[in-house]
Amino acid sequence: MALREIIILPDKQLRLVSKPVEKVTPAIRQLADDMFETMYAAPGIGLAAIQVAEPVRLITMDLAKRDENGETTPRPRVFINPEILSSSEETSVYEEGCLSIPEYYEEVERPARVRLRFTDLDGKMHEEDADGLFATCIQHEIDHLNGVLFIDYLSKLKRDRVQKKFSKAAKRAAE
């Protein structure tokens, strides 16, 4: 496993549409392992491959819950070529953040429930219903695979403000 660099707004790669994974190979398994290490170190709960500059349709996620003793049991999941099959008309609002837009959080409204199809690391196809944080996170990460960021759901004023802030920071870092 290896820590990878997470690309940050305004990096243009974040707007790329990721390509489907043709086959689960050792390289794809290694990428998933690296993504978990990177995601946990960040720390985050979800990561799309494009966020580590790999434009393939691969997501890692861990929505681990704390038990009554305060212990966290990891629940790592991998989603290859995920797609949303259906969405509820009912919506929910969560405060979202993004490892590629560090320390910026805003409320985003999304469908409360979705049905998704994806392939796992064993090459098996699954269909699953998601709600709550899982629904929000999977939609957020699939958006990344399509070149969409959570700030795209905000008003133009808020979106422009955050893009300007990160562009200025990138210029300062390059000097």
User: Could you identify the residue written with the tokens 């997470």?
Assistant: 6
Task: List all residues 6 or more positions away from 173 whose beta carbon is below 8 Å from its beta carbon.
Answer: none
Look at the chain and count its residues: 175
Mark out the alpha helices in the chain (DSSP H runs): 26-41, 132-145, 156-174
92: part of which helix (H) or strand (E)? Answer: strand 91-98
Residue 107 is among the residues annotated as catalytic for this protein: no
Q: If we measure between CA atoms, which residue out of 79, 62, 72 comes closest to residue 126?
A: 79
- Tell me which residue of 49, 19, 55, 14 sits closest to 34, measured CA to CA: 49
CA 169 to chain CA centroid, Å, is 22
* Catalytic one of 54, 96, 106, 141: 141
Active-site residue list: 141
